[in-house]
Amino acid sequence: MKDLERARRAFGCADEAWRDEAARAEYRSRVHALGPNVLREGLAAAVTFLEREQNKKPAARLLLRHLSQAELPGLDGKNAENFAGAVRALEVDDYILATREALRVCLWLRRAVQAWPDDAPAPAPGEAA
């Protein structure tokens, strides 16, 4: 996937998270932590943490869904419900490729949430944030 496509997807995800007031503040902090967690603990552990938290935290559920839609290598067509299990089931080569792509996705998600205004109201549909 090219950077332009990653950027488009990331800003779309960030826009969705911005509009979800229940998830907005926590989504930003989870996005900022996701890349370092993937590097430190691995993709499987980072995704498993989001899976475990998704029933309690709207931001975790939203971020897990956004990752599952990122078309990571070897994980196309997975949804949030079966994404974590599919990550854990990857062969080593596919896991490495998926991790690399996930880190690129994390970078763009981070850039997208950094573009949020600090205390401004959510933009109306179709307006730039």
Digit-coded pLDDT (tens) for 23-59: 888 999 999 999 999 999 999 999 999 999 999 999 9
Q: Give the whole-angstrom CA distance, residue 41 versus residue 77.
A: 25
Q: Which two tokens stand for residue 18?
A: 């911005």
Please, what are the domains in the chain?
Answer: 3-114 (1.10.520.30)
User: Which parts of the chain have pLDDT scores under 50?
Assistant: 120-121, 129
- Residues ≥6 apart with Cβ < 8 Å to 10: 105, 108, 109, 111, 112
